[in-house]
A and B are shown apart, each in its own frame.
Chain A
Amino acid sequence: MSVTLLGQSILSGIFSGSLYALLGLGLTLSWRYLKIINLAHFAFIFLAAYLTYQLAGPGGLPPLLVIALVAPLFFVMGYAQQAFLEHFKVDEFASIIITFGMTILAETFIQWIWSADFVRLETHFLRGSWELGPFFLPKQEMLMSAAALALCLVTAAFLRFTWIGKALRAGLDNPQIAASFGVPNKKLSLLIAGIAGALAGVGGAFMALLFTLAPSQIYSWFGVVLAAVLLGRVGSATGVFAAGLLIGVSEAITMAVTAPAWAPLAPFTLLILILVFWPERV
């Protein structure tokens, strides 16, 4: 195998890994800070992707404007979903079933509006690649990876350094005592759910930019994105980025040296080994 092929494989692994991180970021936040394993996050991503397809394709709006519209819309959706889950006092494990149900509803809704066929966003926005020596750097993937990295870093800094971030961690540690020092746990839950929703919106917009869409594909992202969330340690924004890259690159190298069908082998072997030998890691 040539160095160029290996290099290009690693690059494509970085791109897909960044996307895993971008899709997993909201998921890891709601899992840790809301104790909700929000499978509907994937439904939000696909709803956002189809909406982006509709607005930027047939609608003719610039993709960046669409992202700016979709993010706040999905902030509201995430907020509303959390209000619903809190109203019914849904716990961590029940959340898996309920949000899976929501995902099925969303899939049906997408089929109803856009049919079960593949759709593809045709846009001139950032078409083509930059060339760096022998390597190709596709512009859309580069933008998505930069956005994923920036969002993960900003989220990590937000949790680490801001008053809201500290209050969120304190509320997780000891909600009653945090409340007695004025931390509004409920409001912060809704805020973090909104942020997770907005992140799903941004992830979905990039999904529309990069992929051909079909409603049934919602489920194909569960495994790899949840693996990134777990490997990166639930709740860690920088962790999910590092784990996303690790998975993406190990998949790409496995594909290059064996066959594409073997791609999941490396990341899932790694995940299983970590779950077996280092369970406190996740």
Chain B
Amino acid sequence: MLILENLDVYYGEARALANVSLTLGDGEIACVIGPNGAGKTTLVNALARLLPVRAGRIRLGGEDITHLTPQELADRGLALIPEGRRLFTTMTVEENLELGCYRPAARAHRAQGLEGIYAMFPILRERRWQIAGTLSGGQQQMVAIGRALMARPKLLLIDEPSLGLAPVVITQVFETIKAIHASGVSILLIEQNAAKALSVSQRAYVLDCGAIVAQGSPEELRQSREINAAYLGAGA
């Protein structure tokens, strides 16, 4: 589904990602974990074509997408749940969801898509006319998830879904991610909360200082003493 080959990304002259390669299979869910400042969000933004790539290639379903625009990427079935939700905060919940299916090809599914999202998150149906910026953090995350699902993505990029949420809400969010994956969507999950991320993933990458420092199945990473100590925390 998604293959990154030796990706280099710079902010000006500062290198943020060095030689990053990773693979996500069809229908797979993989996670990229790592500490704050490791370059996780840079990776997401490069993938979503919001940041330029200096060197390397990104391939999606066999096609080289390294230099496509974000709009062209949306047409190829990639949707983003960005860090900090980044909703259209002055617009209503329903308008946010509708923007998810803005692409002409997706608009036909608008009514059906809304029904699906409201069935998944009944609170959003109640709040459909509320301005999105006034929702609680957990509800905003629901809108961000719903907005991305409205695009009917083949590949979903999820960046730090647990950020700023209460533990009970985080558990719900990860349940939702599992359900989305079970429905056949390939997912690349970027998450600081390594324990949670590993618990839903089939494959994991550890990113630190802009480079992939370890990869493998969640079990393999958990069994590696160094990885465990450095990235998963004592209790993980």
Contacts and interface: CB of A to CB of B under 8 A. Distances in A.
Same complex for A and B? Answer yes
A180 B74 contact: yes
Interface stretch (B83-91, B180-188, B195-203): B83-91
Interface in A181-206: 181-184
A169 interface: yes
B91 A170 contact: yes
A177 B45 CA distance: 10
A183 B95 CA distance: 14
Contact of A170 (B82, B88, B103, B106): B88
Nearest to B71: A182
Contact of A163 (B49, B86, B107, B151): B107
Interface in A13-34: none
A179 B71 contact: yes
Contacts of B171: none
Contact of A178 (B49, B99, B151): B99
A174 B106 CA distance: 20
Given A163-B102, A167-B102, A170-B99, A180 B91 contact: no
A262 B207 CA distance: 70
Interface bin, chain B: 20 to 34
Contacts of A182: 71, 74-75, 102-103, 106, 151
B82 A177 contact: yes
B88 A180 contact: no
B86 A174 contact: yes
A4 interface: no
Contacts of B70: 176, 179-180
Given A174-B86, A176-B50, A176-B70, A181 B100 contact: yes
A173 interface: yes
Given A169-B90, A178-B102, A180-B70, 13 more contacts: A166-B99, A167-B99, A167-B102, A174-B86, A178-B99, A180-B73, A180-B74, A181-B79, A181-B103, A182-B102, A182-B151, A183-B99, A183-B102
